[in-house]
C-alpha cells in the first residue's frame, strides 16, 4: 500500500522544529539562496556558516562576485574544499550578469545552463526565490523518500534515480519552499544515514522501507605520498606555483609537489629532489629541515606528505619548465591556499 503523502505532517513539524535560524533562510534573495546551495554541496551546515557570512560580506551581489578576480574568490573559499564550486560560482556570476541581466533565471532550463548548477540546486533556488513548485532531491530528501516509499537497491542506481525524482515531484506541494526546507531538515536532524531517530519522526508510523543505513559501505581510501618543497629566497620570500584549474587544489597557490611511491625513504631522495627542482623549476636548492609526516584527506584518497625546507639564492634561479612566484610572508594570508599550507604558514 502506498504511504500517505508527507507534506501534511511534515510542515507542522518544520514550523516547530525546523532550522529557521540558518543565515540563508532569512532571505528570499536568489543570490543568497544560490550561494548557500553551492556551499552546502557535500559540506556540513556548521562548516558553511562562517564561510557564507564572510563570502557575502565581501561579495554581496552577483555583480560584486562577477567583478572579482578568481584569485580573490578562491582566497575567501580557501579551506572549504571542493574548489570547483568556487570556480563555478565565479563563472556563474559572470553569466548571470552578462546573459541574464543580473538576475538568477526564472526558467529551470536556463538555470541549468549556469556552471555547476544541477537540477536540485536550480529547483531549490526557484522554489524559494520565486515561489515555484519545484521538487528537490538533495542527499537528505533522497534518503527520506527512499526509506519512506520502501525502495530497495542502490539509491544512486539509474532506476531509483528516476523513481526518486518522480516521488519528489509527487510529494512536493504547490508551496514548495517550506516543504523543501522541511524535508531537508528531516533528513539532517532525524532521518539520519546511521541511527535514524524514528521515534521522533513526524511522519507518524513506520516507513515502507527499513531505516537501517542505506549507503553502500565505502572501500578504504587509498593513500598517496608526496614531498612539498618550502623554498625561501635570500630576502625571505616563499616560492609558490599556481595549480592548474583542473585537479587537486585547482586554481590555488601551492608549494612544489613531488610525488613518492610510498612513505619509505628512497635512496638518495635528497639528490633526487635537487635534480627535480633544477629540471622543473630551474632552481638549485640547499635542503634544510625535513618536517614530520602529515595527513590530509581528500574525497577519494588520503595524502601523506612531509614538508622539506630549502633555501635558494638569486644565483640559483634559472629557466625551468614550470614557473614559481615569490611571496613575502605578509602576503601569504591573502592568497588562495590549501588548508594544510595555510596551517603551515600560520
Average pLDDT, consecutive stretches of 10 residues, N- to C-terminus, the chain (346 residues): 77 95 94 97 93 96 97 92 94 97 97 96 97 96 93 90 96 95 96 90 79 61 93 92 88 92 76 90 90 89 93 64 89 90 88
Q: Which three cell numbers stand for residue 58?
A: 565581501
Q: Is 276 helix (H, G, I), strand (E, B) or coil?
A: helix
177 closest CA partner among 247, 221, 127, 219: 127
Rounded Cα distance between 253 and 202, Å, is 48
* pLDDT for the residue numbered 180: 97
pLDDT in tens, 51-78: 999 999 999 999 999 999 999 999 999 8
Strands 223-232 and 257-260: antiparallel
The CATH superfamily of 7-200 is Hypothetical protein; domain 2 (1.10.340.30)
* pLDDT for the residue numbered 315: 45
**Hey, which residues does 309 pair with through a beta bridge?**
230
Task: For the chain, give every residue range classified as CATH 3.90.79.10.
Answer: 223-345
The full DSSP string for 200-269 is: G-TT-S--SS--S--SPPPPPPPEEEEEEEEEE-TTSPEEEEEPPSSSTTTT-EE--EEEESSSSPPTTH
At the topology level of CATH, where does 223-345 sit?
Nucleoside Triphosphate Pyrophosphohydrolase (3.90.79)
Helix (H) / strand (E) element for 306: namely strand 302-311
* pLDDT for the residue numbered 266: 64
187 closest CA partner among 150, 214, 153: 214
- 340 Cα distance to chain centroid: 16
Q: Is 307 helix (H, G, I), strand (E, B) or coil?
A: strand
Angle at 150 between CA 108 and CA 219, to 5 degrees: 80
Alpha-carbon Rg for the chain, nearest whole angstrom, is 24
The number of helices, as runs of H, and strands, as runs of E, in the chain is 13, 8
* pLDDT for the residue numbered 318: 56
Catalytic residues: 37
74 closest CA partner among 62, 66, 63, 83: 83
* pLDDT for the residue numbered 121: 97
Burial classification of residue 257, based on how many CB atoms lie within 10 Å of its CB (0-12 exposed, 13-18 middle, 19 or more buried): middle
CB 30 within 8 A of CB 130: yes
Rounded Cα distance between 40 and 187, Å, is 14
Spatial neighbors of 155 by CB under 8 A, at least 6 apart, are 142, 143, 146, 164, 214, 215
* pLDDT for the residue numbered 100: 96
- 151 Cα distance to chain centroid: 29
* pLDDT for the residue numbered 1: 53
CB 249 within 8 A of CB 242: no
The sign of the dihedral angle between the CA atoms of 204, 207, 211, 217 is negative
CA distance to 149, 193, 197, per residue, from 206 (Å) = 10, 16, 12
Task: For the chain, give every residue range classified as CATH 1.10.340.30.
Answer: 7-200
Amino acid at each position: 500500500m502506498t504511504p500517505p503523502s508527507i507534506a501534511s505532517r511534515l510542515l507542522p513539524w518544520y514550523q516547530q522544529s525546523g532550522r529557521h535560524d540558518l543565515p540563508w533562510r532569512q532571505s528570499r534573495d536568489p543570490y543568497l539562496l544560490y550561494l548557500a546551495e553551492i556551499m552546502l554541496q557535500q559540506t556540513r551546515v556548521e562548516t558553511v556558516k562562517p564561510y557564507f557570512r564572510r563570502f557575502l560580506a565581501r561579495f554581496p551581489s552577483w555583480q560584486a562576485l562577477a567583478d572579482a578576480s578568481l584569485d580573490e574568490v578562491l582566497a575567501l573559499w580557501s579551506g572549504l574544499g571542493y574548489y570547483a564550486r568556487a570556480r563555478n560560482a565565479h563563472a556563474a556570476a559572470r553569466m548571470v550578469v552578462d546573459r541574464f541581466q543580473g538576475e538568477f533565471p526564472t526558467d529551470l532550463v536556463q538555470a541549468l545552463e549556469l556552471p555547476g548548477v544541477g537540477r536540485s540546486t536550480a529547483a531549490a533556488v526557484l522554489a524559494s526565490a520565486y515561489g515555484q513548485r519545484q521538487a528537490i532531491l538533495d542527499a537528505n530528501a533522497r534518503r527520506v523518500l527512499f526509506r519512506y516509499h520502501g525502495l530497495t537497491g542502490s539509491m544512486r542506481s539509474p532506476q531509483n534515480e528516476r523513481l526518486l525524482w518522480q516521488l519528489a515531484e509527487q510529494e512536493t506541494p504547490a508551496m514548495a519552499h517550506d516543504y523543501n526546507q522541511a524535508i531537508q531538515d528531516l533528513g539532517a536532524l532525524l532521518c539520519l544515514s546511521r541511527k535514524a531517530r524514528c521515534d521522533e519522526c513526524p511522519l507518524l508510523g513506520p516507513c515502507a522501507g527499513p531505516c537501517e543505513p542505506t549507503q553502500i559501505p565505502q572501500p578504504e581510501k587509498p593513500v598517496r605520498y608526496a614531498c612539498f618543497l618550502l623554498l625561501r629566497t635570500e630576502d625571505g620570500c616563499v616560492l609558490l606555483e599556481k595549480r592548474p584549474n583542473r585537479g587537486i587544489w585547482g586554481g590555488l597557490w601551492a608549494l612544489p609537489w613531488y610525488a613518492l611511491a610510498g612513505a619509505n625513504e628512497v635512496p638518495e631522495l635528497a639528490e633526487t629532489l635537487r635534480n627535480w627542482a633544477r629540471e622543473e623549476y630551474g632552481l638549485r636548492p640547499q635542503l634544510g629541515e625535513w618536517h614530520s609526516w602529515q595527513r590530509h584527506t581528500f574525497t577519494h584518497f588520503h595524502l601523506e606528505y612531509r614538508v622539506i625546507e630549502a633555501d635558494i639564492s638569486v644565483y640559483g634561479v634559472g629557466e625551468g619548465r614550470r614557473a614559481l612566484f615569490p611571496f613575502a610572508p605578509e602576503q601569504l594570508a591573502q592568497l588562495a591556499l590549501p588548508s594544510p599550507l595555510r596551517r603551515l604558514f600560520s
